[in-house]
């Protein structure tokens, strides 16, 4: 059953977008983007997601710059953000979390774990109603 929540996934790897789209399509309205600029353009049109999943290493705007942009924006600052990365560098994780990301996951990732983390963030932000957890 679809929750009505909107999830934006941004990654320059088509396979990652395919996994996210396939796994979450039943529960979320999923929109995928290969470039952060495309997602930002859609958000500027007023289509705001309930959560964003974005890759760290992308051309044009990298994940760090994207997190900084979202957190410094008056319109987008409250949108929960999970960063994915192939790097396991503790320093990089700390940097990203300090920039304002809500979570950090290393690729390859388990979609079930990603879903649990999304639900946890939505619960904390007050967006996930208890009945959807229990029901």
pLDDT of residue 132: 47
pLDDT over 80 (residue 133): no
Q: For 55-107, how does the pLDDT look when each residue is reduced to its tens digit (9 = 90+)?
A: 999 888 888 999 999 999 999 999 999 999 998 889 999 999 999 999 999 99
Domain-by-domain residue ranges, the chain? Answer: 5-129
- pTM passes above 0.85: yes
CATH topology of domain 5-129: Rossmann fold (3.40.50)
Q: Give strand pairing partners of 103.
A: 82
State whether residue 103 is helix, strand or coil.
strand
Nearest to 65 by CA among 34, 99, 32, 24: 99
Distance between CA 47 and CA 87 in Å, rounded?
Answer: 30
Rounded CA-CA distance 5/47 in Å is: 12
Tokens describing residue 17: 């977008």
Predicted confidence (pLDDT) per residue in 35-48, tens digit: 999 999 999 999 99
């Amino acid at each position: 059953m679809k929750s009505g929540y909107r999830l934006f996934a941004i990654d320059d790897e088509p396979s990652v977008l395919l996994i996210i789209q396939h796994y979450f399509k039943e529960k979320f309205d999923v929109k995928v983007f290969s470039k952060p600029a495309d997602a930002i353009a859609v958000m500027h049109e007023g289509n705001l997601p309930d959560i964003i999943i974005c890759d760290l290493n992308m051309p044009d705007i990298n994940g760090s710059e994207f997190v900084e942009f979202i957190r410094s924006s008056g319109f987008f600052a409250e949108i929960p953000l999970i960063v994915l990365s192939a790097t396991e560098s503790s320093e990089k994780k700390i940097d990203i979390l300090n920039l304002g990301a809500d979570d950090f996951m290393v690729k390859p990732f388990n979609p079930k774990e990603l879903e649990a983390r999304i639900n946890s963030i939505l619960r904390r932000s007050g967006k996930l109603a208890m009945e959807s957890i229990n029901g």
